[in-house]
Structures are given as C-alpha cells and as structure tokens.
Structure 1
Amino acid sequence: MEIVYLIFWMILGLVFGSFFNVVGLRVPKGESIVTPPSHCDQCNRRLTAIDLVPVLSYIFLGGKCRTCGARIGFFYPLMELLTGVLYGLAYWHFGFTVEFIVAILFISLLVIITVSDIVYMLIPDKILLPFACVFIILRIFSPLNPWWDAFVGAAIGFGILFLIAVVSKGGMGGGDIKLFFVIGLILGFKLTIVALFISSIIGLIAGIIQLLWQKKGRKHPIPFGPWIALGSTITYFYGLKILEWYTNLLF
C-alpha cells in the first residue's frame, strides 16, 4: 500500500503544482485565483480539461496552444513536475504525520514564490503572511527539539538577511528577508544557517551563469527567491546529513 500512497501524493502534487502556477502568476498582480478561468494569454481562449492535465497536456500539445499555436513556457510543466516529485518525497520521508503536513505546505509555499519571483521579481506579503501564521500554529503541534528552535531560527533568518540588506544598501529584497523568517520557523537555527549557505552558493553559481549567458550588466537584478527555495528544500530533507558530513570533515 505504501507505493500506492506514494503515487497518490505525487499525482496530487502534479495537480496542485498547476494551481500554484496560477497563484504565483495572479496574486502579485492582485488578481483573483478563481476568476477568470484559466485561458491562453495570446488568444484568450478558455482552457478545457484536455489543456489542463498537468505535464501531459504540455507534452501532447507540443508545448503550444491548441487554438493559436502560441508557445507555452516549459517553466510551467516543470513546476508541476517538481511539486509532484517533492510531495512524493515528503510522504517518503514523513509518512502520515503532522510533519508531513508541514512538509507539503512548505513545498507549496516554495513553489508559489518561485513562480512569482521568476516572473515578477516579487515575493508578495499576501503569500508569505498566511503561510507564516499556519506554520507558527503547526510548530506548536509538531515542534522542533527544543521547541523554541523554530522561533530562534525565524529570528536568525530574518536578522541575517535584514543585516545584509542594510549593509548592501538594498542588495537584498524585502520578500527574501521575510521568506527566511518563514524558513526559520520550519528549519530551526542550525538548518537555517545551512539553508542560507547552500542557497547563496547555488544563487552565486546561477547568477554567474546568467550574467555570462545573457551578457547583462552587474546591476541587472537577478531573483534570489528560486535559489532560496532550492537551497531550503535540500536543507529540509537532507540538511542534517549535510551538517553531519561537514562536521566530520572538519573534526
């Protein structure tokens, strides 16, 4: 039965990943996530069920709108697929526990802010604040050890990025700062530091590649949110093993 549950959560993740694309695209613009229904941005045709099957629709339609032939970005099915895989990974790690609920909500948040930050260079408070409130409540029922570690992690995550923003005179976005407050609630003090380190390394490498590839100037803004999301996801599932490996390497 475990494999059945695993497949179920992966499929559910694919479905929710499609919805998270909508949330990440509409909330920053102040639009409803319900109306209007999903439609092609070019010809404005309302999408039907055959257009909305996660990942498969993109493959079967050749990445194009059925009506006008406009290209559909590969980014959208990629986020659906990632959500499905990560939901399955969460179940594999935690089973049916309170921490599993924390995990899928954390994944959901990270997918949404990744879409939002890539498209608009913005991580809205309307997304962050509801998740923060839910995570505070969940950490009461699924506390870290010790219980106050989540709140210290939140303070440290917020404080470090706020300090970076002050020193760099705006080099760090407000959304990134508040996002690390939420990440701290999930990871606690030590793993928040690990997540920041991993995110910074990934972001640095990605930034160099983007600058070289697109030949843009140093002042061209590069979204940090997706790399925070990737680094935090790696840390959430494997941070303790990474920390143990690093400690053994040093001592």
Structure 2
Amino acid sequence: YAVLGGKCRSCGQSISIKYPALELLGGILYAYAFWQFGWSMELALTLVLTSLLFILTMSDLAYMLIPNKILLIFLPIALIVRYLSPLENWYNPIIGGIVGFVLLFVIFLASRRGMGAGDVKLFGLLGIFLGPLHVVIALFVSAFVGSVLGLTLLGLGRVKRKQPIPFVPSIAVGTLLTYYFADDWVSWYLDLLL
C-alpha cells in the first residue's frame, strides 16, 4: 500500500486506507493471540473467531450485510475447534449458542427489526465460542461500544439521527474484549460483592 502510494497497481484507482489499517490490526490481533496461547487448540479457536469477526466487519462496513454463507461455513468449524479446545463441560458451547441466538432474537422482535437478522444469527454462532455467560457479557460490551461509536459519529456529523450504522464492528470489539478479559471482569465483580 505504501509503495504503491495507496493506488491500485493496474488501474491507478485510490485504495481506501481502511483496508491496510484493518489488515494491520488483524496481524496485531493474531500475534497477540499467539502470545497469549502459544501453539495450542486455544490458539486455533482464537484465530478462527478473529477471522470470522474480521470477514464480517469488512462485509458490514462495505455492504451493511452479514452473509449467511459465511455463517454456515464457520458453524461447523466453530463446533470442531471449540470441542477440540479445553472445555469446562460438553454442553457449554451448545447452551451458549442457544442463549446468544434467543437473546438477540428477543431484542430483534422488541426493536421491531431495528436490528438485523444477521446479528441474531451471528450471536448464535458467537455463543458457541464464548459460552452462555460470556455471550451475554459480549452483548452488553458490544452495545456499549456501539453506543459510544454512534454518539461520536453523530456528534461529528458523520451520520444523521435514525441513520443505520454497521453494528458488526462494535460486536467484533465487544466480543474480543469479552473473550480475552471477561474472566478478569467477573472475578473483579465478585471480589467487590464479597
């Protein structure tokens, strides 16, 4: 990107800075995952989750769309790597998937389709990775990130009131923060209560 001056080699058209920026961020996240887990099935699980979130973030930013084909491709992969990774119990991924889907489906109905159906299916898939407790935490963190982002864009005049904005980037941030740090958050919260 730097060598070509941000332009396509063949046609000379400008390339958006968001593409190399997201690719750089992806490389940093993959390196962080390796630093956290080393060569392990947990690393494989983390890389699959990170890849899913990156693909869907790019799709949502470009087209405001979460393709069913992507979700269907990642569903068996998620189940395989989840069950090959360390688990507290065999039913956690299944219950997590159900909780993620049902929770978002209720919000989808209550919001009168203010949220996309793709988000509902995505949270069902994320529940397999995260489990029932963490998928709920991920929803709250994602909603918080989305609110801050939406208010910032509104304040900067980049979007108008009631204008839909992509939610997957917020889901990606909320999910990865939850994946890495939720256990610490829960421990901290329990220490406050006791």
The TM-score normalised by the length of structure 1 is: 0.73
Cα distance in 1, alignment partners of residues 141 and 24 from structure 2: 23
Q: Which residue of 2 aligns with 1:95?
A: 38
Q: State the distance in 2 between where 1:134 and 1:248 align.
A: 36
Q: What aligned pairs does 1:206-245 form with structure 2 within 5 A after superposition?
A: 206-214=149-157, 216-245=159-188
Equivalents in 2 of 1:111, 1:94: separation in Å?
A: 20
What is the alpha-carbon distance in structure 2 between the residues aligned to residue 143 and residue 130 of structure 1? Answer: 22
Aligned: 1:77 with 2:20: yes
Measure, in 1, the Cα distance between the counterparts of 2:117 and 2:81: 24
- Shift, 1:185, TM fit: 0.4
SS of the equivalent of 1:60 reads coil
Q: Residues 68 and 141 of structure 1: is their aligned pair in 2 closer, same or farther, counting only changes over 3 Å?
A: closer
Q: Distance in 1 between matches of 2:16 and 2:25?
A: 15
**Contact in 2 for aligned 1:194/1:243 (Cα 8 Å):** no
Which whole-Å deviations, capped at 9, do the CAs of 1:11-67 have from their partners, x for residues lacking one? xxxxxxxxxxxxxxxxxxxxxxxxxxxxxxxxxxxxxxxxxxxxxxx1222322346
| 1:147 and 2:90 aligned | yes
Please say if residues 114 and 229 of structure 1, whose CA atoms lie closer than 8 Å, have aligned partners that are also in contact: yes
- Structure 1 segments (4+ residues) deviating >4 Å: 66-69
For residue 191 of structure 1, the aligned residue among 111, 126, 134 is 134
Question: Whole-Å Cα distance in 2 between the matches of residues 67 and 91 of structure 1?
Answer: 36
> Which of 97, 110, 116 matches 2:53?
110
Q: Give the whole-Å Cα distance in 1 for the aligned partners of 2:102 and 2:126.
A: 12
Identity %: 45
Q: TM-score under structure 2 normalisation? A: 0.93
Q: Give the deviation of 1:249 after TM superposition.
A: 3.4
* Gapped regions of structure 1 (runs ≥ 5): 1-57
Question: How far apart are 1:130 and its partner, in Å?
Answer: 1.2
CA distance in 2, matches of 1:164, 1:190: 17
Matched to 2:167, the amino acid is F
State which drifts further: 98-107 or 240-249. Answer: 240-249
The Cα of 1:132 is off from its aligned counterpart by 1.0
Q: Which residue of 2 aligns with 1:28?
A: none
Distance 1:152 1:117 in 2: 27
Distance 1:139 1:215 in 2: 39
Question: How far 1:95 moved relative to its partner?
Answer: 1.4
- How many matched pairs? 194
Q: Is the 8 A contact 1:123 1:175 kept in 2?
A: yes
Distance 1:87 1:216 in 2: 32
CA distance in 1: counterparts of 2:80 and 2:124, whole angstroms:
15
Contact 1:144–1:188 (Cα < 8 Å) also in 2: no
Structure 1 distance, partners of 2:114, 2:77, is 29
Measure how far apart 1:191 and its partner are: 1.0
Structure with greater Cα Rg: 1
Structure 1 counterpart of 2:126, one-letter code: I
Paired amino acid for 1:84: G
Q: Tell me, which stretches of 5 or more residues in structure 2 are unaligned?
A: none
Partners of 1:139 and 1:63 lie apart in 2 by 39
